[in-house]
Chains A and B, each alone.
Chain A
């Protein structure tokens, strides 16, 4: 009898105590962060926030380290290692309150899922008590981190989503973004179409995801404005669709010569194969979103040469990282040498992130949250994207340029920028290749 009562009591109390024991928390992976130094009652999420007493700057990065979006993280570890080594060893850290202290990054995996993304960002803020929160790639990463930013009033930097969909959760007070803009993106795609001789009939093959939805509104607006184009829209399809028979028949019957598709990689692969089966390869086939990675594109059948899409960064941008003093081309070449494959575009974002972080923290000179936020908002720094400043939407708008996959010299396929209307720093006199079915 007695033993049972004790067991009952133990069960209840263990439960209550284990929650209370979360106060300190455990050390985050990767870096030896001192999560355990917290006393009880330190409610870091309350107004103003308490700056933890640490000998280093801690940046918490909620990122898709597993799941479908982990493809974006291909270059991240490489960049983080290189940049932290450069900042902490070559430059001796960042000067905060008159002392140079090192920068550290702690990661939390968002599993490409908003539910986990929220838990990851919350954990970074409340358990690791980071000084700056990062949330990256697609609205899953950016919008959840921005919500945490507002809730806990912590300076937060997000990147890798369409500006339009990120702003849908705004206006933000504590989040700053580095996002591309869908208007710019589609504008440069349309510019490709105007450079090819066609009948001006544009077939839309857009899914219901955020890119497809924003893309549809944007492209119809731009084409209306320009005139001379006629839109054929079979309706949005679902990303889980296994077959494009209906859509392709419709486009073929309407004699479409330009296809604007926005879909993930498996759908792009399936769609491209089915176009070949229907023996219907229009003069322009633009498949956005699914064709970012050379290795994936190389597996498409038939050969993907001539497909156009919007690249979010390219090594041919004539700019350098202000932190490394190295050109975009040089960094990408170094990555290719180290990994033996075509560089991923997310490399540019990761490098620019550290250019910006170093600049912001140096100008702030403190980890006090309002000061860090103020420094973010007055950013004006040269990166591998060129000079970036914060616009009225709290976004450092970065370009998205019309790009084509062509036969490469080092790799089977390589990117070629064919339209840079919205970003006139890049040379775009390259010829446009018309896609072929015959291999």
Chain B
């Protein structure tokens, strides 16, 4: 099913050395350098890691659960002694002294990090064009965007430079690029994986997740990464829900998300109807769709304006204008260091938190968020999964300039629902009507395993 010429099988062939396997992946990554998927390739580091693992195994060590799996890490996730910049000039040259908890846990199971991937600056964007490393190009069509913000992560898997990409999803940043690149993208429920080592965009939304071809690999990685962490007190310690039989799954979809005028989402709607032949399916409605995007942008920009205050040129990263006053240094550093989209969101966030506007915007948005959560909770009393499109369209041209900046923000409407509610959600490729259609499935809290199980089932169905 893979149209990418460089697609490789998920698993290391018997008899091939781990070093050679890593070498093959490095070569693929280098051949596709024009796609801008990678920020740094850890050529020596990955080979050294492979050698180390091989030596340990030769000495009798049991191979880890991720032995033979090559992974990429989004450039907003910290790896000890490696540069990390969130694709921003303000962090250019910054080297993290510690690894993200997820990175540590994956490496402990013998996953090998091949490099760090390009993304939208601080995760802010839907096309991976807001980056100091150049826009990421889609591996299927280099004149199209890869999606964002985890565009580099998606392309790193798409071209076969790795089997698994760790990304982050604040409002769809894993699910949308996965869809644009023909892959599976999984965002666990909020707090399921430690955010320690994730460079914050919007703390109450940010979530680590994975992009891969193979949902079973995602499940493995999820199980390795999830759970309590001393460095993140917001991690959920709730147990996974009991396994529920896939065949008995009750699906629901929300009519409001399928405007008759959009043929792209209409195709997704037909797919869902088709699934109704195999599963119990309910068509229902969701009042308040119009509030999702505004609520999402009020809350995320508010948190971002505060989270990005630490980039002031005092302790690390870029410093410009230190010959002038303190205020001059602050202004110069942040003016030069941040890109236009980031500055726009910092200003929006500063505005919605400011005196006199706080209640009208922030407080109200918090209320809407609670309302959305309650609405979905009600929906989930009679249903197990909500099926939606991932996007309103396929990937757009890389040089496309939206006339209205809100147009791009509104394209997030399908993915921000799960983000506002903090629920697990996945984007999967389904072959339907001789095309690859992308379907988003939102699951109940603590039902990540069940969500992955039904995803695998739907992917495996041969539909017309």
Same complex for A and B? Answer no
